[in-house]
Structure 1
Amino acid sequence: MFATVLAGVTVFVLGQFILKLVLEPIVSLKEQLGLLSAFCLRHQAMLTNTNATPQIRDELRSLTGLIVAKRRAVPFYKIVARILNLPNEREVSKACHLLNKIGYAIVPYKQKFGPIVHEIDGEIYDAFQVARDLDKVGELLKVNLRY
């Protein structure tokens, strides 16, 4: 009788350990990717025109940082990413770098007086490049960011 109770408690504790340590961070990461997708789809016109409010720019930067943080919270990420078809570490890093570039390219719309062109990382960065980078981020993170 005691062995049965001990085995039951052990199974419960191990199940909770796996749930809290592995599964919940994965779900949290996937939720964050979903929030990024919803954000980009909701603000697609402003993002691709590099013309948005400071709040939208700050929210994009915040979402980007949270994706990196939540990816790091998943233990054994390399293995988990392969099993669950998640983006690998390099893809997440590259996608977040592109999202930061997009955030940098956004100019508050009250300050915009014509086409805005930036030079970022030695390349011309305009609305067309933002649209291409959003597509690339979508491919890297395996989410839909544009209609």
Structure 2
Amino acid sequence: MTTVLSTILVGVTVFLVGQFCLKLVFEPIIALREALGNVSAFCLGHSAKITNAAGTNSMHEELRKLVSAVISKQNAIPCYCISRMLFNGPPSKDLLEGCRCLNFVGYEMNSEISNGKNKNCTAIVKKLKQAATLLRVRLDYEGH
């Protein structure tokens, strides 16, 4: 009888530890990777408009939401500095700096904000490349 009870207790304990790891570590990491993927998809899908500074207010707002989602997903991961090693994620400092670069890109690409202002396409491309390196995602179609 004690073997059956100990087997059940060990099984329940293993299940609880597994669920704890899943809900507290792996699911937030997957959510962050998904958010980074959404940023990548946005930048690849609107590549021409972004690099030619021909974006719209709605594109600017969408990019701002995607970038803020990346930061919020990173904040949801406990012990991010350790957890990031499980999925080769960017360090916190790089993640924040990459998001700053994308906010710059979002502002500069918006042709509705920059009416009458010189378009700074070179700076947009430079910041986009910098963000791609910092965030460890593909944001353009150039070979690496």
User: How far does the alpha carbon of each residue in 1:31-60 deviate from its partner, in whole angstroms, 9 at most, with x for none?
Assistant: 111111110000011111121121111000
How many Å separate the matches in 1 of 2:136 and 2:103? 18
Contact (CA 8 Å) 1:29, 1:70: kept in 2 or not? yes
Question: How many residues align structurally?
Answer: 138
Could you state the TM-score of these two structures normalised by the residue count of structure 2? 0.89
Return the structure number with greater strand share.
1
TM-superposed deviation, 1:76: 1.2
Structure 2 residue ranges without an equivalent (≥5): none
Residue 103 of structure 1 deviates from its aligned partner by 1.5
Query: Which of 106, 109, 115 is 1:106 aligned to?
Result: 109
Query: Does the CA contact (< 8 Å) of 2:44 and 2:139 recur in 1?
Result: yes
Measure the CA separation in 2 of the matches of 1:14 and 1:104.
45
Deviation at 1:80, TM superposition (A): 1.8
Aligned to 1:143: 137
Pick from 47, 52, 59 the counterpart of residue 50 of structure 2: 47
Aligned-residue sequence identity (percent) comes to 38
Tell me how far 1:10 sits from its aligned partner.
0.9
CA gap of 1:133–1:68, structure 2 versus 1, over 3 A, is same
Alignment partner, residue 58 of structure 1: 61
Structure 1 residues 110, 137: CA separation in 2 closer, same or farther (over 3 Å shift)?
A: closer
Unaligned runs of 5+ in 1: 118-125
Structure 2 CA distance, aligned partners of 1:2 and 1:82?
38
Q: CA RMSD in A?
A: 1.7
Are the equivalent residues in 2 in contact too, given 1:50–1:105 (CA < 8 A)?
Answer: yes
> Please, which moves more after superposition, 44-53 or 13-22?
44-53
TM-score, length basis structure 1: 0.87
Q: 1:21 maps to which residue?
A: 24
